Amino acid sequence: MTSLVSHDSRHGIALLCRYPAGVPHPEALVGRLYGLHLHRDANDCSLWWDSPGHPGQNDLLALQMGHQRRLQRLFPRVDGCSMDSSYYNASLGTPLDPGPTGIKYDLDRHQYNYVDAVCYENRLHWFAKYFPYLVLLHTLIFLACSNFWFKFPRTSSKLEHFVSILLKCFDSPWTTRALSETVVEESDPKPAFGKMNGSMEKKSSNVSEDVEATAPMLQRTKSRIEQGIVDRTENGVLDKKEGEQAKALFEKVKKFRTHVEEGDIVYRLYMRQTIIKVIKFILIICYTVYYVNNITFDIDCKVDIESLTGYRMYRCAHPLATLFKILASFYISLVVLYGLICMYTLWWMLRRSLKKYSFESIREESSYSDIPDVKNDFAFMLHLIDQYDPLYSKRFAVFLSEVSENKLRQLNLNNEWTLEKLRQRITKNSQDKLELHLFMLSGIPDTVFDLVELEVLKLELIPDVTIPPSIAQLTSLKELWLYHTAAKIEAPALAFLRENLKSLHIKFTDIKEIPLWIYSLKNLGELHLTGNLSAENNRYIVIDGLRELKRLKVLRLKSNLTKLPQVVTDVGVHLQKLSINNEGTKLMVLNSLKKMVNLTELELIRCDLERIPHSTFSLHNLQEIDLKDNNLKTIEEIISFQHLHRLTCLKLWYNQIAYIPVQIGNLTNLERLYLNRNKIEKVPTQLFFCRKLRYLDLSHNLLTCIPAEIGALQNLQNPSCD
């Protein structure tokens, strides 16, 4: 008989229970297998090493604190037992009665813990051992890869800024109004401006063809848009607060686009983290599928502690093996799904050029045909947002359009400049004309065109201004000034100006500030150009177009020419007044002046002339000559002016003239003579033979006295001889 010693904790006594040697005690077996404490009556056997308290708490604590070790339950194998009843008989000295033989299971709890630890470390497969930690580790890596670009400073700031601007643009009232306006224009186009009659509309429809037909040079070099002729658009309505908010959004979008298009770090980082996730997906699938079968319920373990326990072989149980297998299968399914998404993302990035984004479809659908294509990170982020909802990109594109921005700017301008405010700025100029001067505005307020009495309109430092068809309301407008204003014009407006505009003043520093449509103004009578024309290409583009102005009578050039352009000579056939202010640059080769036979007024100011040009002596229709601020020291050639019978005004002021030749008396038709600001010391009496003189200015010279013969000039009024 095999003896099992048990202890009744309630009575504090040790009980010796005998069982057949070959049959294990069933409760002892169950107790060892599941680690349970059995509650019995006083006559029942209780495990003597049980600690006080409910033993189920030990299992819960073990599962909570370290399931990887306490999940294993074990008991000795039969074939691993080497001790029999003879051992006990010998130890007792007195032979016991022979009985059944069997395996003794009553090991100490610490012995079980030791065997459990050894089997866990040596026999349990590493995959079953570390499977929960691997799942946690891979999940953390996937999370890190997916969220790294949201945390990396160089990319997170761009993404956050982009999302912020995108949402503001999406919710902006201006976006809704701009898109709805496009729908209205496509479904119900508005008629032409009310005050334009049928003939005006017909002329405006053919204005671009007229420009090219009358200006072959423009046809060769510039397209219709480049000439500054744009199509007509309509403006919506927006209150002041919404307009200011939309204006701020336009500025933010411009700055953000400039900043983000400089690099592609967002694209490169997203590509790299996607590649890492695909590689990790392949790695996980390969080793998980291979090792998942190593998660088993039964584990045979050999522990060399036979001298202590009497057993060498143990069979351990892994109770969570089945659950782990199910979880592993579910985990593989999730990883496969996630991996397929990553592979699709990588395929999407490789098959398309995500560093370029085109708004072609939006340009075709809307009236904003100027929406630019974008590149680098800006393009990539728009591609990403398209995968979420393409409507975001469509609404965002409104803030990339210059046409949209100009419309908004015009609305804000109209809110600021009321009709009453504009009337307060109207003045009368030296020619007694009603004049309005607009300086450094973002455009032309629509209320300007309600000032029907306006005669002169000055636009200065107004960038990207477009003259609308409503300018036809200004029926009294005859003079237009464009100072550093690269004005574009709509076709109906150009048709109106071709018929009505008589005088045009243009001042520029850059060649791009000169609109080429000015050369189609067939009724233009006066043209004033102020700017740098020293470069050869500037002279060709700006001056060469003058040939198309067949009715030009007055030409003023304020520049720095070295010689008189041939085109000036060509148009000089019908010119009546030519004025050149050369800003101190020496003007040479003036022989072509003799071809301008119809000239009545000639001004050569600050041309660094040392003598009176001989070519002027053949201009028999000249009535006035102005040689102000040159370097004239002698005027002996003045005798040749006697052939200019119509010459009534001679201005030789602001020079270095030392004396007046006696031949001055031959200019009997002179009525006005300007000799001030020279170095004249004496006045010849022959000067007083010019009996028709009504104005004489000899001030600021070196005169010491005035001859008494000045009294012979009976028509002289208010002479200046200081």
Q: Encode pLDDT of 252-262 as tens digits.
A: 999 999 899 88
Distances (CA, A) of 119 to 108, 124, 182, 599, 638: 17, 7, 77, 118, 128
Maximum mean pLDDT: which of 39-43, 593-597, 628-632:
628-632
Residues 679-687 have a mean pLDDT of: 92
pLDDT at 98: 52
Instruction: Give residue for tokens 């490169």.
Output: 268
Helix/strand/coil (H/E/C) assignment for every residue in 249-267: HHHHHHHHHHHHCCCCHHH
Residue 88 has pLDDT above 80, yes or no: no
Go through 536-565 and write b for each residue having 16 or more CB atoms within 10 A of its CB, e for each that does not. Answer: eebbebbbbbbbbbeebbbbbbbbbbeebb
pLDDT at 513: 84
Instruction: Give residue for tokens 């304020």.
Output: 558
Instruction: Give the residue among 448, 449, 447, 444 at the shortest CA–CA distance from 463.
Output: 444
Is-contact 525 242, C-beta < 8 A? no
Residues 376-405 have a mean pLDDT of: 89
pLDDT at 602: 95
Cα 34 to Cα 60: distance, rounded to the nearest angstrom? 12
Cα 565 to Cα 546: distance, rounded to the nearest angstrom? 11
Lowest mean pLDDT among 13-17, 159-163, 481-485, 551-555: 13-17
Give φ, ψ of 546 to 5 degrees: -65, -20
The pLDDT confidence band at residue 362, using thresholds 50, 70 and 90, is confident
pLDDT at 209: 45
Lowest mean pLDDT among 96-105, 342-351, 695-704: 96-105
CA dihedral for 475, 476, 477, 479, sign (positive or negative): positive
pLDDT at 182: 61
Question: What are the tokens at 327?
Answer: 């979880």
pLDDT at 229: 55
The pLDDT confidence band at residue 90, using thresholds 50, 70 and 90, is very low
Give φ, ψ of 229 to 5 degrees: -95, 120
> CB atoms < 10 A from the CB of 369, how many?
12
Residue predicted with more confidence, 163 or 189: 163
Residue 377 has pLDDT above 60, yes or no: yes
Cα 123 to Cα 718: distance, rounded to the nearest angstrom? 128
State CA 248 to chain mean position distance: 13
The pLDDT confidence band at residue 97, using thresholds 50, 70 and 90, is low
Strands (E), 26-157: 73-76
Residues 680-693 have a mean pLDDT of: 92
Q: Which pTM does this prediction carry?
A: 0.62
Residues 114-137 have a mean pLDDT of: 85
Instruction: Give the residue among 360, 380, 379, 383 at the shortest CA–CA distance from 370.
Output: 360
Residues 562-567 have a mean pLDDT of: 84
Residue 85 has pLDDT above 70, yes or no: no
For 313-329, what is each residue's pLDDT tens digit?
A: 878 888 888 888 899 89
Q: Could you tell me which residues come within 8 angstroms of residue 349 by beta carbon, excluding any fewer than 6 positions away?
A: 270, 271, 274
Cα 233 to Cα 466: distance, rounded to the nearest angstrom? 11
Residue 487 has pLDDT above 70, yes or no: yes
The pLDDT confidence band at residue 104, using thresholds 50, 70 and 90, is low
For 565-595, what is each residue's pLDDT tens digit?
A: 888 888 888 899 999 999 999 998 788 888 8
Cα 59 to Cα 688: distance, rounded to the nearest angstrom? 136
The pLDDT confidence band at residue 24, using thresholds 50, 70 and 90, is very low
Is-contact 258 319, C-beta < 8 A? no
Angle subtended at Cα 631 by Cα 630 and Cα 635, rounded to the nearest 5 degrees: 100
Strand partners, 357: 374
Q: Could you tell me which residues come within 8 angstroms of residue 62 by beta carbon, excluding any fewer than 6 positions away?
A: 69, 70
Residue 6 in 3-state DSSP? strand
Distances (CA, A) of 470 to 150, 443, 453, 475: 51, 14, 14, 11
Residues 131-142 have a mean pLDDT of: 90
Instruction: Give residue for tokens 């979008």.
Output: 253
Work out the mean pLDDT of the chain and round it to a whole number.
Answer: 78
Question: What are the tokens at 229?
Answer: 């002729």
Cα 73 to Cα 226: distance, rounded to the nearest angstrom? 88
Go through 653-675 and write b for each residue having 16 or more CB atoms within 10 A of its CB, e for each that does not. Answer: bbbebbbbbebbbbbebbbebbb
| Alpha helix positions (H), 471-557 | 491-500, 536-538
pLDDT at 694: 93
pLDDT at 228: 54
Residue 116 has pLDDT above 70, yes or no: yes
The pLDDT confidence band at residue 649, using thresholds 50, 70 and 90, is very high
Q: Could you tell me which residues come within 8 angstroms of residue 290 by beta carbon, excluding any fewer than 6 positions away?
A: none
Q: For residue 353, which amino acid is it?
A: S
For 432-452, what is each residue's pLDDT tens digit?
A: 999 999 999 988 999 999 999
Cα 541 to Cα 561: distance, rounded to the nearest angstrom? 15
Residues 44-49 have a mean pLDDT of: 29
Q: Is 53 exposed, middle or buried (0-12, 13-18, 19+ CB in 10 A)?
A: exposed
